[in-house]
């Protein structure tokens, strides 16, 4: 079944340098364009440090929790993956971003439901999205737990 629902939008979220530095520590990517503001300003055309693309992708979880309706009770949401992920524009550290989510398709997958969302990550003041993707989320309904007797 295909849907072209209205785009749901998250709140703005500020990405500062300490957040980017923590992410760099977590994934082991300390490339200067992300972690050294002085060098990034002097040696790149970015004007300073930029946010890791994978950080932006990971932020979609936080932003989707603000924008998308909560899953029904007894349902587990499972990240099923992404299709067509593209990082279209660099995001300067210190920027505010927000996510736009639109349900494109909802299909049965056994007892579960697979939802495909069109996603865009907007940068405040930007003219083009920083990221676009199709995000697949599996909604799996769990049986209620029975007590031990």
CATH of residue 70: 3.10.129.10
Q: Model confidence at 1, in pLDDT bands (50, 70, 90)?
A: very low
C-beta neighbour count of 80 within 10 angstroms: 16
DSSP strands (E only) in 2-143: 8-9, 13-14, 75-87, 96-109, 112-123, 131-141
In a domain, 147, yes or no: no
Q: Has residue 97 got a pLDDT over 80?
A: yes
Structure token digits, residue 144:
């209620």
Domain hosting 108: range is 8-16+51-141
Q: Tell whether 131 is covered by a domain.
A: yes
Q: Considering the domain boundaries, does residue 115 fall inside one?
A: yes
The per-residue pLDDT for 121 is 98
Report yes or no on whether pTM surpasses 0.85: yes
Query: How far is it, in rounded angstroms, from Cα 12 to Cα 112?
Result: 32
In a domain, 24, yes or no: no
Residue 54 predicted with pLDDT over 70:
yes
The predicted structure's pLDDT at residue 2 = 46
**Beta-bridge partner residues of 133:** 119
pLDDT at 71 over 90: no
CA distances from 26 to 18, 19, 30, 36, 55 (A): 12, 11, 10, 16, 10
User: Residue 143 pLDDT more than 70?
Assistant: no
Instruction: Kindly state whether residue 127 falls inside one of the protein's structural domains.
Output: yes
The residue written with tokens 């503001």 in the block is 37
Residue 41 located in a structural domain: no
Classify residue 45: in a domain, yes or no. Answer: no
Number of domains in the chain: 1
Q: Is residue 42 part of a domain?
A: no
């Amino acid at each position: 079944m295909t849907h072209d629902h209205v785009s749901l939008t998250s709140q703005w979220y500020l990405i500062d340098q300490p957040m980017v530095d923590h992410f760099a520590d977590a994934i082991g990517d300390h490339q200067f364009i992300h972690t050294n503001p002085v060098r990034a300003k002097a040696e790149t055309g970015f004007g300073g440090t930029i946010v890791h693309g994978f950080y932006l992708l990971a932020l979609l979880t936080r932003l989707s929790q603000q924008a998308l309706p909560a899953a029904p009770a007894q349902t587990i949401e499972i990240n099923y993956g992404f299709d067509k992920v593209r990082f279209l524009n660099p995001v300067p550290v210190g920027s505010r971003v927000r996510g736009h989510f639109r349900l494109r398709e909802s299909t049965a997958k056994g007892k579960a439901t697979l939802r495909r969302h069109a996603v865009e990550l907007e940068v405040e003041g930007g003219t083009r999205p920083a990221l676009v993707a199709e995000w697949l989320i599996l909604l799996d309904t769990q049986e209620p737990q029975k007590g031990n007797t």
